[in-house]
Structure 1
Amino acid sequence: MTITQLQYVLAVAEHKNFTSAAEKCFVTQPTLSMQIQKLEEELDVQIFDRSKKPIQLTDVGEKIVQQAKNIVNESTRIKDIVDQQKGFIGGDFKLGIIPTVTPTLLPMFMANFIKKYPKVNLIVEERPTEEIIRMLKNGQLDAAIAATPLNEDTIKEVVLYYEPFVAYVPENNPAYQKKEFDIEDLEMNLNNILLLQDGHCFRNNVLNICKAANLPQNHHFSIECGSFETMVKLADEGLGMTLLPYLHTLEMPEKAAQKLRHFKDPQPSREVSLIYNKKELKVQIIDALRSTITGVVRGAIAFQNVQIVSPTHKK
C-alpha cells in the first residue's frame, strides 16, 4: 500500500470516473486503474463497484476512503512541519472563498499577494460556507475566507474586516425619500425585499437582521436571485429593494449610487474572517494572507461603530 495508491482512490471517489481522476492526478487512466487494482488485490476487497454508472464506492470502500483521507492529509503535514521550521513561504495553498466575497475582495489582494509571495501557488476555490467547513475539516482546503462567527470548535477564525450592509432603494419606493435607514425601516418593505438564493450566507444575514429587529416573521420575500447584479436590476424594474455588502457598492455608477442608503450607527454588518483548521500547519502562508488582505482593505473600509449580524440562520 502506498500514498500514491490512496491518492488515486480518493480521486476516483471524488470524480466517480477513472478517466477524470487520472487527469486530476496527471497520469494515464491505465496507470491509475492498475494501481487501484493492485491495492484491491492486496487488501482482498473491492473498493469500487464498477458495474454502476457513475462508479460507486462499496460499503468497505466508504470506510477505506475515510481512512485514506486521514493518511494522505497527515502525510503532507511532514513537509509542512519542515517548511514552518524553516520559515519558508511557498508551495501549494488551497484557499476557499464564499461567492458573496469573491468578486470584490479577490481582485483587491490577489495581484499584491502573488507579487509579494511568488513561491506560493495560490489555488482559489469559490465554495458556499457549508462546503468550506466540510473541506477544511477534511483537509481539502488549507484556509478560507467566509462570514463569521461560525461557532465551529475545530476551526480558527481571524477577523479581516467588518463590512456594513447598504440598502439599494429604487426611486418608486417610499423609502427612497429617506437619507438614512433604521433597521425598522425594512418593515415597510418586508413583502418585496429581494434576496439571494437559499444557500448563500448573505441571505441568512439579511433574514437575521429582520429577526434581530423583531420584525414580523410571517413575511413573504418576492424573488430570490443568484447574484447582486441581478437583484439591483430587478430593483430598478420596480420589483423591490435589496441589501448589498458595502464593498460591492464602491464601483457603482453615480446614478445607481444615488439609490444607496446607509444604516444609522451601529450599522448592521457582516464579519469577514480568514478561517482554517486548528491543526493547520501552513500558518506562515496564512499570516501572509492576513497581512496582505488587511493591508489593502484597511483603506476601503474604516467603519468602527458596527453591529455584527450572524451568518448562520435557523429555519
Structure 2
Amino acid sequence: MNIQVSQLRYFLSLASTRSYSLAAELCNVSQPALSMAIRRMEEELNLTLIDRKSNPISLTEEGEIIASQATKIMEGLSSLEKLASDLHDNHMAGNIKLSIIPTLAPYILPGLIKKFSEMYPKVELIVEEETTKNILNKLKSSEIDVAVLVTPVEEKSLIYVPMFYEEFFLFTHKKLNKRHASSADLDYKNLWLLQEGHCMREQMLRICEHKNMESSNITYNAGSIESLINITEYNKGMTIIPEMATWNLSVERKERITPFNDPVPVREVSIMYHKFTTRLREINAIMHIIVENVPSFMKVRENFQTIDIAPLS
C-alpha cells in the first residue's frame, strides 16, 4: 500500500467542503488532479470512499471511517513537524497541560510554577487538580500531557517515573509522648480520613489495616489535608498526614506529629505520561524542577514500606 500525505490532505479537504472545486482551491491544485489522486487512494485501499451519485457529494460509510483515521494521522504529522521545529530551534514553546492530585498540589505547585515560568517563558503551563481516576482517563485520551500522582498504577499505555518517597506521620490533637507510633496507637473511633475519591484515603486505610477497622465508627468528611488537620484538632481525634504537609505547621502542631515504626509507611510520588507523547523535553523539565525542590533524603528511602493505592475501576 502506498498512500501519499497529499492524497490524505485532498481527501480530507473534499470531505470537509463536499465540493471538488472548493477542495481543489484549498489545496492549490487543479480539480482533475485532486479527483485523480482521490481515485488512486480508493484503488490503493480497495474501497469506495466517495458517493459520487449524491448531490452534493458525500462520503460512504467506509469513507467516514477512513476520514476519521486520516484526521488523526494528519494531526500526528502536524505534531511531528512542530516537535522537529522545536528541536531544530532548540527551544520550547506552546502549552503543556499538567494534572496533579489535590494532596500533592499545595506543596509542589508553588515552586514548580515559579521556576518553570522563569526557565521557559514561551511555554504556557496549564495546571489542574484531579483525582487519580480522572487523571488516568485524561492521560489515556491525550486530554493532558503529564501528571504528578501517587504510584504504582499499572496502565499499558502509560509510563511513570518515581521521583521521591513521602513518609506518613500520625498527627494527634494532643502530644502522644512516644518516639514512634504503631497501629496499636490508632484510636479508630476518633480517626479522621479523607473523603472517598482521594487515593491517599486508600493508603491511610491500608496503614490502619482493614482487619482492625471492621467494627470501627469512622467518618470520612475532610476534602483536604488542611481540613483534616483542623477537624482532628476540633474533634480531639487523630489522623495520618504526609511529610510535606508537616513543613509549614506551627511549632506547637509539629510537637504533635509522631513518626511510625519501621518499616516506615511512605507513598511513591511519580511523574506519568503517555508512552507515545511528543512532549518529553517539557516533561523532563517539569520532573527536574520538582526533584530539585525535594530534600535529598526523600529521593532514597531505606527500611520503608511503600503503601499502594487500591486498584481503580
Give the AA of the match of 2:225: F
CA contact under 8 A between 1:84 and 1:282: conserved in structure 2? no
SS state at 1:124 partner: strand
The C-alpha deviation readout for 1:181-236, integer Å capped at 9, x for no partner, is 124433xx12221111111111111112233x853444331242111122111111
Distance 2:71 2:221 in 1: 37
2:239 is the counterpart of 1:236: no
Distance 1:291 1:309 in 2: 24
Q: 1:102 aligns with which of 105, 119, 132?
A: 105
The residue that corresponds to 1:203 in the other structure is 201
Distance 1:300 1:251, change over 3 A: farther
Number of matched pairs: 256
Q: 1:78 aligns with which of 77, 80, 87?
A: 80
After TM superposition, the structure 1 = structure 2 runs for residues 1-315 of structure 1, keeping only pairs within 5 Å, are: 1=12, 70=72, 74=76, 76-83=78-85, 85-86=87-88, 87-171=90-174, 176-186=176-186, 189-211=187-209, 215-299=212-296, 301=298, 304-305=301-302, 306-313=304-311
Distance 1:226 1:132, change over 3 A: same
Identical-residue share of aligned pairs (%): 29
Long gaps (5+) in structure 2: 1-11, 17-55
Distance 1:197 1:216, change over 3 A: closer
Which runs of structure 1 show a deviation greater than 4 angstroms over 4 or more consecutive aligned residues?
A: 41-45, 66-73
Q: TM-score, normalised by structure 1?
A: 0.71
Name which of structure 1's ranges 142-151 and 217-226 shifts more when overlaid on structure 2: 217-226
Cα offset for 1:275?
Answer: 0.2
Long gaps (5+) in structure 1: 6-40, 46-60
The C-alpha deviation readout for 1:93-150, integer Å capped at 9, x for no partner, is 1111111111111112221122122222111111111111011111111100000011
Give the AA of the match of 1:167: L
Distance 1:221 1:117, change over 3 A: same
Distance 2:144 2:71 in 1: 13
Query: RMSD across aligned C-alpha pairs, in angstroms?
Result: 3.1
Cα offset for 1:68?
Answer: 9.7
SS state at 1:194 partner: strand
Name which of structure 1's ranges 102-111 and 84-93 shifts more when overlaid on structure 2: 84-93
Distance 1:69 1:210 in 2: 51
Distance 1:155 1:300 in 2: 28
Give the AA of the match of 1:164: E
Distance 2:75 2:182 in 1: 48
CA contact under 8 A between 1:150 and 1:312: conserved in structure 2? no
